[in-house]
Structure 1
Amino acid sequence: MTATQDGPAELTSVDALPLRPELRGKTPYGAPQLKVAHRLNTNENPYPLPPELLADLATALAEASVELNRYPDRDAVALRTDLAAYLTRTAGDRVGPEQVWAANGSNEVLQQLLQAFGGAGRTALGFTPSYSMHPIIAAGTGTAWIDGHRRADFTIDADAAVAQVRELRPDVVFVTSPNNPTGTAVEPATVEALYAATQGMVVVDEAYAEFARLGTPSALALLPDRPRLVVSRTMSKAFGMAGLRLGYLAADPAVVDALQLVRLPYHLSALTQAAARAALAHTDALLATVDAVKAERDRIVAELPRLGLTSVPSDANFVLFGRFADARAAWQALLDHDVLVRDVGIPGWLRVTAGTPAETEAFLTALGEVAPAHRLGD
């Protein structure tokens, strides 16, 4: 703040600070958190944690609190062991604790990857539209960002993508599968081709992997003999623990060694580690909600044609739907009906999170009233 002789201090504008040039004019990441009856814009799991987990959480946090005067295990060995066991169980291939790293949400995992393998004079490429935090994290780490190509249906053309990677030679390639905000999954063959086309790191962001339709493979099976391949995951979505802020990755142990060069000391609190381990002990109960969420996602997809709308095939817990003559106007019209969805900036399209059956009903009812006035061609 700047003091003046004639009145109270004036707020200083960000533009008045010696901000890095590439950050000028940027806006922070975030979705509007408005007070509405049905908030379906942030891809959260709508179901509360089971009572038995809440009881165990209370015990685990109480036990961890006894030693809060001490620093936590900076390598989170016990947590990484539990995460490795979960991945081994679900992926079908053994993942060892030495291959797993955890941080404060998958965003910090991605940030550490760019701190280690990106940075000044290096580039990262992602196939947009995709997760909007990827270029933001790139900017924050001084890594130049390159937009990759997608088809009109939002899928990745493997040949075109490989050609672009070979031409531009990025240091880090991001592949989001299932993709956010479109929900589309990426074939393992595409990941393999991109890996072969680059000498850099290939990061497959699988934040929504547990919601994939039956038969949709994970990139975890590609890890053996690919030391530059990374698969990132989170406990925010399928596990329903967005408030915990726990993300993790699986990769060659050398990648984990590299990230320890850039991680902040004691970056995971003792409480976070204890809570995550308690949650992993209740994996079956937590993931039991996944099928319910997928059913609501599929219900939304099935109902859209009746309303004169369509969707992008989704392997996530959300649906990109359209087309609208003016997506922003349709977003506002839904908000006027007390339903908050996400305007992701793709002309003609909006994104809705699959919620509870009651939330789906409210969304479809509102959409039925809104669509005739806003869908493209009407």
Structure 2
Amino acid sequence: HDFLTHSSGLPPLPSLIFAMADSLREDPTISMFGEKAADALDTHPPLRTYEELMDFIAKQDFALLGRPGRYFSYSNDAYGLLGAIIERVGGEPYEQYVMRHIVEPAGMDRSAFKLDCLPGGAELTQLYVKKPDTEAVIAAPGWWESRPMAAAGFLRSNVVDLIRYMEIYRNRGKVGEEQVLTEDSVRQMVTPYMDSGMGGDYGYGLMLTANYHGFSLVEHGGGIKGVSAHVTSVPEAGITGAALANLGGVPSSQALTAAMNILLGLPLASRRFAQQDYRYLEDHLASLTGMYPSGEGLLPPTKIVIGEAGLEAHLHPKVYPVRMIGPYQGIVEMYGPQDEGMPITFLRNDMGDVFAVAMGARMMLKKDLEQS
């Protein structure tokens, strides 16, 4: 339950990098993900099995973010380990289990974990990345792979198949006439267990919004090199949607939300939560500043500082304004002030001091700027 709801207390760890190491080494665009990205791969052998992943996590020097069930922090490690559990209980490789019990019954015939398992004639997109210094978009051949992290999001698909998959949550476990999941399983998955921040909740592998202008949303999204993805289902309106881009860092979720707004009869710019400006005194803003490192990626820590125009988030290699919309809550305006942006919440301890930030679905502990 704690793994499924990202509430185990595991902090962001570098496991995924080493679990993808074999494909990262073959990637000609690896330098786009940080000047020292290639060098980082030499600090630990590749993780190729579940046992190696477990051993790696066990040897990491970290403290839990809190007791299990206390905090929400997205954990690829937790889902990688869930894949190991499914494999042990199911008695067959995780990928085969998912294909046999979900992908094939749902009629998702253009989806596979391995590209060479797609049917003959299936068209495959070209992946692209942005050069961090010039914003130029260049082709980025090569798909990242990871056997021990397969359950964390390595199924390749298209919008048609993703819509078929999301029908499971719109239609009580059915895709067409096929009962892929039981109604009870669907109910468990769409039960809100954890507050994921900014008015949203998290079920089992799904983001939930109970009241989106009178509608309920069942969603998920994410990205990896050359991919930005988002899926949404609005059960009571009978609507399911998916958005895919073959470029990382694209606001697919906002594009899909705008399309759903049209179908739901809402204003195009309707948002998930109110965004009224909240005025902070500068000395109060100073309590939010600091370095917030994540062990998960190859990039430097997020830095929150006070700039000329107010609070800023330094997300390598860019700087974005942070607009405060409530006490200890703000929006990182990554795509301009008219977009929904990335929610950011500053978490306080029992003494009232900010000790962590929740951003990008991750919880990252604070370090003072002077210590960094």
TM-score by length of 1: 0.23
The structure carrying a bigger strand percent of its residues is 2
The structure carrying a bigger helix percent of its residues is 1
TM-score by length of 2: 0.23
Which one has the largest radius of gyration? Answer: 1
